[in-house]
Amino acid sequence: MKKVEAVIFDYGGVIININYQATLDAFRSVGIIDIEAMYSQANQSNLFNDFETGRVSPQFFINQLLSYAPKGTSPNQIVHAWNAMILDVPKESIQLLAKLNNQGVRIFLLSNTNSLHIDLANRRWDLVSDKSPKELFEKVYYSHEVNMRKPNVEIFNKVIQDNELNAQKTLFIDDSIQHIEGAKKTGLKTLHLPVREELFHYFS
């Protein structure tokens, strides 16, 4: 790893294992056939954007998706389908973060997420760590809490300015190329991580 003073990590696909296809498949299984036109890793409709920036409630989000589902579909089925992408938190991720802390590297978490996903992700996190993300990272930025999302430049600038970071000495890591491109506009160093396992090779 080239010398950096701080690292900003994405959550899903970098720290925690996720599978976008699992959610698409789960929605199709409850009868929302055209879900891919509404949501994907690279693009999503206003409903998903609004949910990830805290502009609509979980109940509104669920009800909107229910309107696309066959009659008789339950709210729990929608939540289960939406959360299907959230997998496990590898112990190696926690060990890496602890290692960086011990080396004096400042670490931050910046995630496009929502209250339903983060609730499950944090429960998966608790299975492998006795410290919560907000205890392990210097600061955590969840899109639905700060009302901004990647790849918009404003959310990167917020992290930089809030923490008085030197962008040229700060590395941003994400599995989505559009987020990498947004970060580059602020002067951040970037690492595109299409395969999560490459994270450990980079820091080895």
Domains, the chain, ordered by start: 6-17+88-202 (3.40.50.1000), 20-83 (1.10.150.240)
Q: What's the one-letter identity of residue 36? A: E
| In the block, residue with structure tokens 């109940």 | 59
Low-confidence ranges of the chain (pLDDT < 50): none
pTM of the model: 0.93
Q: C-alpha angle with apex 45: 41 to 47, nearest 5 degrees?
A: 115
CA–CA separation, 74 vs 146, rounded Å?
A: 30
The residues facing 111 across adjacent strands are 142
Beta strands in 36-143 (DSSP E): 106-111, 139-142
DSSP lists the bridge partners of residue 12 as 16
Residues paired with 192 in a beta bridge: 174
Tens digits of residue pLDDT in 109-123: 999 999 999 999 999
Cis peptide before 75 (omega within 30 of 0): no
